[in-house]
Amino acid sequence: MLAAVADYRELARRRLAAVAFDYLDLGAEDGGAIARNRAAFDRVLFVPRVLRDVAAIDCAVEVLGTRQALPLVVGPTGLNGLYCPRAEEALARAAHRAGVPFVLSTASTSLLEDVRAASDGPLWLQLYVQEDRAIAQDLMRRAAACGCTTLMLTVDTPVHGKRDHDTRNGFRLPLPLTPRLAWDLARHPRWCLRMLRQGGSPQLVNLARSAGVAPQLAHQAAALSRRMDRRLTWEALAWLREHWHGKLLVKGLLAVADAELALRHGADGIVLSNHGGRQLESVPSALAMLPAVRAAVGGRLEVLVDGGVRRGADIAKARALGASAVLLGRAPLYGLAARGEAGVDEVLRLLRDEFETTLRLLGLTTSMALDATVLCDDTPARLALP
């Protein structure tokens, strides 16, 4: 096991072709939102207590009425086949071994049914709603049949954010073989062999099945590029409830007013998120908005948060500020790209070890004891800094 998530990132950078690593690692425009995600965690400081019995630690929490081993969820990420064949199956198995849920993306490169067969751990589905709502309805039907417990509606992508790195790399599906890409591939033979083992470019098989398109990448990419339902409003939650009878989370909120609307329209919870800094660049981090959102909705709504989690201490900071759990996006993917499924296991174990260490050094024995009393009194002021 490497020393830190940053080390897995560096190993992933060396092993992936630039077109794949940039897709994983970079964000919208000049990357300001990504930088703010990390800076927000850096601004949160602890005030530890000492001379307390911390021999036994309980990291478990309850999220959406279900007890899990850690206050984290392996969150939804698309096109993971760029990093490792059968990527979503590997992520799901590693999440199950860690005792936490795995969220499968609409844009996954593995079928929902194959992921379910690979692991009997808690499985959630992330949903994009396109103009043809029949696609979303079929995804929900399949998710229910596979025993998914939670639907995570993502609402911050009516259009795709401007990602300069994709333009520079000529990234699109299927990938065009340009001289720049050919040189990139020649410098990364190990990655090329991984891609060849799965038949070339990863396939958007999950979306393709529900969209009813032919099994060619060009057709699948066209299905993914269909316009999102730009008429989607809060009233759509009632439509979702007609087709989904499990828990319902709304992902991609930052505004306090939107959190209150989610509560009013019957969501079970929300995920504060700026989409990993990949959509609108000039936005605050989700962590910076967490105290105000928690103050507004109190305990009436489950609040999760994502963006920039790289340390076990980050998980503790989010819990102390009022989050039920954090979602991991890039961190397990760094492990996946660096060392395959074993790398995901190592990243999740590393974060657990760091989280346990943080609890002990704070003088706490349970995740449930994390609250604002462990933070410096000026934490809200520092989070509000640009």
Burial 144-161 (b: 16+ CB within 10 A, else e): bebebbbbbbbbbeeeeb
User: What amino acid occupies position 324?
Assistant: S
How long is the chain? Answer: 386
- The pair of three-digit structure tokens given for residue 175, joined into one six-digit string: 């990938």
Instruction: Please name which of 268, 313, 307 lies closest in space to residue 290, comparing C-alpha atoms.
Output: 307
Residues 259/280, Cβ–Cβ less than 8 Å: no
Q: Helical H runs in 123-245? A: 133-145, 164-169, 179-186, 189-197, 205-211, 217-225, 236-243
Which residues are known catalytic residues?
275
| Residue 163: C-alpha distances to residues 102, 171, 340 (Å) | 26, 10, 26
Separation of alpha carbons 204 and 218, rounded Å = 10
- Angle (CA) 153-355-251 rounded to 5° is 10
Instruction: Please name which of 247, 273, 266 lies closest in space to residue 155, comparing C-alpha atoms.
Output: 273
Q: What does the CA dihedral 290, 91, 145, 301 come to, rounded to 10 degrees? A: -10
Q: Is 299 exposed, middle or buried (0-12, 13-18, 19+ CB in 10 A)?
A: exposed
Residues 277/28, Cβ–Cβ less than 8 Å: yes
